[in-house]
Amino acid sequence: MDLYSRKELLGAGALVLAALAIGLAFGGLGWALFAAAAAGLVYQHRDLRRFVRWAKKPLRRPKFANAGLEQASRSLRRSLKQARRRTHEALQQTSHFRGVTAALPDAAILVDGEGNIESFNGASVALLHLKRKDTGKHLGTLLRHPDAIRLLNQETPDPTAEFSSPFIEGQRLELRRVPVAKDQDLILARDVTHLNRLLSMRQDFVANVSHELRTPLTIIVGYLEAIDDDELDADTRRRLVGKLASPTHRMQALVDDLLMLTRLESSPAPEPGDLTAVDVRLLVGSVVDDLAGMAGKGHQIEQRIPCGLRVLGIEKELHSACTNLVTNAIKYSPQGGRINISWTGGDNGAMLEVSDEGVGIAPEHLSRLTERFYRVDFASARVRGGTGLGLAIVKHVLKRHNSQLQIESEVGKGSRFYCRFQADQLQAPPSAA
Ligand code: ADP
């Protein structure tokens, strides 16, 4: 880059020559050169003032007499424009990032290399109770947990930490550290309470199934070992083989119930095409007939079915639900106990009810009865021969028919299990139609 243009150099040369000529002609060479230098200074000073004025708003197009200044200010203006464009892009990216993190359901907190909060999204307010004034503070100290502090201080190779929330009792939080820059980490926090509950439910379920299967299996193995004796007479052997039936049926019932439950839970909601108009009178009749052997111990089963409405549903599932309710009523009632099955209804819907005058259930158990393998009295339920899955099946069947199981009970007086079907789940009997 030339500091002066050719024109400027020629002008400066001409000025010096003119000063020399005037100075020699009039005998004042020193004054003439001084005047020429002063004129040059004024010229330069004028450009300098222009430059200072331009520098206040450097994005304007520069215009200077001095070629060097003109060129320098032009390249300065170009770099400024580039820097401005880059800043604009960076700002746009930052606001896009903010928008993305704001939409995240999990808390996202940007921290510096030491774990101090730089910024955070909206979910952090609800989950970690962060406030604007917490910016700059150490996230670990706000979460008040040694594992969180270790994670934020990078004292552990594990990028995750799980601990109890200091804000909501019973809530479990998971933190994950994601490095985003040399001295910057993104901390993602989420509520894992539900996930943990599901995992422990799965573990409980596997433990329960194994336990339930082990009992009859142990009995079967015991009898098989006894049978495997060459000295046994035919009668004893036949008697021992007969003993295998009960634990085998028990295992079969358990596997059947498990399969049924899994099918109910994993099947999509029934489509209108899957539904048939189920005649409840016939359904209850067939359930009672099937259980006649079981109820033979003097139970009196009364059916009160004044309503002819049919349920739009899946007959096999409804049959299973009804069977489970009536089986329980028989199982948990003394010999000779009275059991009522009723189907009543009108324009606003209909209700299926199974009530007994049996042992009853204490209030604290009522909300947990439909959990798999939940029993009020484990030992007695075993003796009565249940799988512990009956009411869980009923719950899922009813859910698939837009209904739910309601239970009322009093210890020593009996229980009432009922459910309501909405009008749009019902169909008038053919004669009425
Ligand atoms: P189970 O196969 O053990 O009967 P269920 O899921 O059908 O399993 O029932 C869960 C528990 O609910 C039973 O173990 C029993 O304690 C209680 N229960 C169910 N029905 C009745 C009833 N009619 N009367 C009293 N207790 C009942």
Average pLDDT over residues 67-87: 89
Q: What is the pLDDT of residue 102?
A: 82
Q: What is the pLDDT of residue 296?
A: 59
Whether 309 contacts 280, CB under 8 Å: yes
CA distance 210 to 254: 11
Domain regions of the chain by residue span: 6-85, 105-191, 198-243, 269-427
Q: Tokens 């601990």 appear where?
A: 163
Give 53 or 395, the one with higher predicted confidence: 395
Q: Strand 414-421's sheet: what is its strand order?
A: 300-304, 338-346, 349-356, 414-421, 406-410
How far, in Å, is the centroid of ligand 1 from the Cα of 325? Answer: 9
- Give the number of the atom of ligand 1 that is nearest the alpha carbon of residue 354: 23
CA distance 208 to 201: 10
Whether 423 contacts 337, CB under 8 Å: no
Q: Which CATH number is 105-191 given?
A: 3.30.450.20
Class of domain 269-427: alpha beta
What one-letter code names the amino acid at 67? Answer: A
Is the pLDDT score of 3 beyond 80? no
Q: What is the pLDDT of residue 398?
A: 97
DSSP 8-state secondary structure symbol assigned to residue 111: E
Q: Is the CB of 325 under 6 A from ligand 1?
A: no
How far, in Å, is the centroid of ligand 1 from the Cα of 330? Answer: 10
Is the pLDDT score of 252 beyond 90? yes
CA distances from 284 to 279, 353, 426 (A): 9, 11, 16
How far, in Å, is the centroid of ligand 1 from the Cα of 359? Answer: 10
pLDDT tens-place string over residues 274-330: 999 999 999 999 999 998 876 556 889 999 999 999 999 999 999 999 999 999 999
- pTM for the complete prediction? 0.66
CA distance 370 to 81: 70
Tokens describing residue 186: 């993104």
Q: Which residues of 44-64 are buried (b: 16+ CB within 10 A; e: fewer)?
A: eeeeeebbeebeeeeeeebeb
Q: Is the CB of 386 under 6 A from ligand 1?
A: yes
Residues contacting residue 193 through CB under 8 Å, at least 6 positions apart: 170, 171, 172
DSSP 8-state secondary structure symbol assigned to residue 334: -
Whether 152 contacts 111, CB under 8 Å: yes
Q: What is the pLDDT of residue 313?
A: 96
What one-letter code names the amino acid at 325? Answer: L
Q: What is the pLDDT of residue 336?
A: 86
CA distance 174 to 353: 45
Q: Predicted confidence band at 381 (pLDDT cuts at 50, 70, 90)?
A: low
Q: What is the pLDDT of residue 295?
A: 58
Residues contacting residue 267 through CB under 8 Å, at least 6 positions apart: 400
Is the pLDDT score of 432 beyond 70? no
CA distance 124 to 109: 7
pLDDT tens-place string over residues 109-166: 999 999 999 999 999 999 999 999 999 999 998 998 999 999 999 999 999 999 999 9
**3-class DSSP state of 181:** strand
- What string of H, E and C letters represents the secondary structure of 356-372? ECCCCCCHHHHCCCCCC
Q: Is the CB of 328 under 6 A from ligand 1?
A: yes
Question: Crossing angle, helix 193-227 and helix 234-243, to 10 degrees?
Answer: 170
Closest Cα to atom 3, ligand 1: which residue? 388
Closest Cα to atom 13, ligand 1: which residue? 375
**Residue whose CB lies within 8 A of the most ligand 1 atoms, among 330, 361, 382, 394, for a mutation test:** 361
Whether 401 contacts 318, CB under 8 Å: yes
Is the pLDDT score of 385 beyond 80? no
- Give the number of the atom of ligand 1 that is nearest the alpha carbon of residue 414: 24
